[in-house]
Amino acid sequence: MKNTAIKIENLSFSYSKKQKALKNLNINVPKGAIYGFLGANGAGKSTTMQLLTGILSSSKKNVFLFEKELQSQFPFIFSKIGALVETPSLYLHLTGIDNLRCITKLKEVSEDKISEVLGLVGLSDKGHLKVKQYSLGMKQRLAIAMTLLGEPELLLLDEPVNGLDPTGITEIRELLVKLNKEKGTTIFISSHLLSEIEKMCTHIGIIDKGELKFEGSIEELESLTKKHKILVKTKDISTNIELIKNSYKDVRVENNDCVMIELNSKEEIPVLTKFLITNDIPVYEIKIVDGLEEWFLSLTK
């Protein structure tokens, strides 16, 4: 348990006798990690989040934050964590600054921090506006600003980029990476946006039907895949497809100038490249299309 920000041991949770939400769940989040928690709707992500924030409780006391059992740390633990679970609760009739001022009172944090967190989430010039005037993306960023008051050691974020446009998603991702690198903040982030998780996270947990299917680094997850999909862009694939099929077993034509070839390992990519050049097959692009989405689907199929 040493040097862990979050540890869950053999956690099972049921809403009823017929509905078992979690089954012997084990999670280990190292301090300083950005941990992506992935799963389809109904997999158990939100239940886990609610157990980590004390909204739900485990009778067996097997949820630990900072190496101590969670319930034994109430209410003081909330000075060390920031949480955004499901839809943020905002006072629409108040300004962004006044919403943050409410949190500073609750957390006994100096109001001097308000301008700092507004700047971090890109709302410095919007703090004076009433929240009812905010777009969905602005509300989400204000909610994240609330979690940052008090400089928490751990952030628990449930779908933090919901409703954001591509620019907003990128800004939040860059913000979280910056917090992690510069302040050492541990971030536990639940999301269904696999591409975003892949770009920012150091560790991954994949849950399916209440059971953890994988936990580890992205590199460790990648090593589990048995095939590597390689997209080759060439010229008029029809003139060379038979030659390629005679040498490679798993070949699929994507369009007139692209072919997908499955290899057993990345070490075979130089061999494939040499084969294409030796046979005078023009190569405009070679791209590995493996990714978190492929691995996620293979583990939860």
Quote the tokens at residue 93: 């009739």
Taken in order of first residue, the domains within the chain and their CATH numbers are 4-222 (3.40.50.300), 228-300 (3.30.70)
Which DSSP string do the residues of 91-154 spell out, in sequence order?
A: -TTSBHHHHHHHHHHHHT--TTHHHHHHHHTT-TTTTTSBGGGS-HHHHHHHHHHHHHTT--SE
Neighbours of 160 (CB within 10 A): 26
Whole-model pTM: value is 0.79
Residue 54: left (phi > 0), alpha (psi -120 to 50), or beta?
left
pLDDT by residue for the chain (301 residues), tens only, comes to 568 999 999 999 998 877 789 999 999 999 999 999 998 888 899 899 999 998 898 888 899 999 999 999 988 898 899 998 877 789 999 999 999 999 999 888 999 999 999 998 889 999 999 999 998 888 988 998 999 998 899 999 988 887 778 888 888 888 899 889 988 999 999 987 777 788 899 999 999 999 999 999 877 877 766 677 888 999 888 888 999 999 998 898 988 889 999 888 778 889 999 999 999 999 999 987 766 666 677 666 6
- Please give the pLDDT value at position 191: 84
Q: What is the pLDDT of residue 228?
A: 78
Helix axes 136-148, 96-107, angle to 10 degrees: 20
Confidence (pLDDT) at 19: 79
pLDDT at 291: 63
Per-residue pLDDT, 93 = 96
